[in-house]
Amino acid sequence: MLHYLTIIVCCQLAGELIVTALKAPLPGPVLGMAILFAGLVWNRGIPDDLAKVADGLLTNLSLLFVPAGTGVMLHAGLISRDLVPISVSIVLSTIATIAVTSLMMAALSREDAGGSSRSPLVSPKPPGTGSQESRDA
């Protein structure tokens, strides 16, 4: 599992290095996530151990917000000065996110109405390991 955690961190580092070298107006971790996604698409699936590492990170995700919360408290004066633009951007981006998500869900649901709803990145489970199949047996 340490191997996959190292891969995640290296993808983030690669993203940071590329963004810094190109002086791109993009967060390095976002580019790193795109690099990781490209690797998963290339391999046509998510390895089980990588999924376990990701689940462990998601379980403890709240710990990763501590530095951000500290930064907000440190710069409370700046935030209060620009409260209106920040609030407007948060509301508009939330509305845009909900709209794009619903449109994508509707489009993908129509496209996949006759087939399976599984993501192509999720590796299929062998027969007999699913909860429905084991209950039917």
**In the prediction, which pLDDT does 137 show?**
47
The answer to whether residue 55 sits within a structural domain is yes
Domain range for 36: 1-59
Q: What is the pLDDT of residues 107-122, one digit of tens each?
A: 888 876 655 555 555 5
**In the prediction, which pLDDT does 134 show?**
47
DSSP letter at 125? P
Please tell me whether residues 29 and 70 are part of one structural domain.
no
The answer to whether residue 130 sits within a structural domain is no
Q: Which of 119, 128, 6 is nearest to 136 (CA)?
A: 128
The answer to whether residue 119 sits within a structural domain is no
- Say how many C-beta atoms besides its own lie within 10 A of residue 28's C-beta: 17
The structure tokens listed for 70 are: 């500290």
The answer to whether residue 85 sits within a structural domain is yes
The answer to whether residue 4 sits within a structural domain is yes
CA gap 100, 77 in Å, rounded: 33
The total number of structural domains that make up the chain = 2
Q: Which of 105, 7, 116 is nearest to 51 (CA)?
A: 7
Please give the average per-residue pLDDT across 1-24, as a whole number: 91
Q: What is the pLDDT of residues 55-109, one digit of tens each?
A: 888 888 888 788 878 888 888 888 889 999 999 999 999 999 999 999 999 988 8
Average pLDDT, the chain: 83
Which has more pLDDT, 44 or 103? 103
The answer to whether residue 41 sits within a structural domain is yes
The answer to whether residue 135 sits within a structural domain is no
Q: Residues with Cβ < 8 Å from 119, sequence gap 6 or more?
A: none
- Reading phi first (left if > 0) and then psi (alpha if -120 to 50, else beta), residue 24 is in beta
Q: Residues with Cβ < 8 Å from 1, sequence gap 6 or more?
A: 49, 52, 53
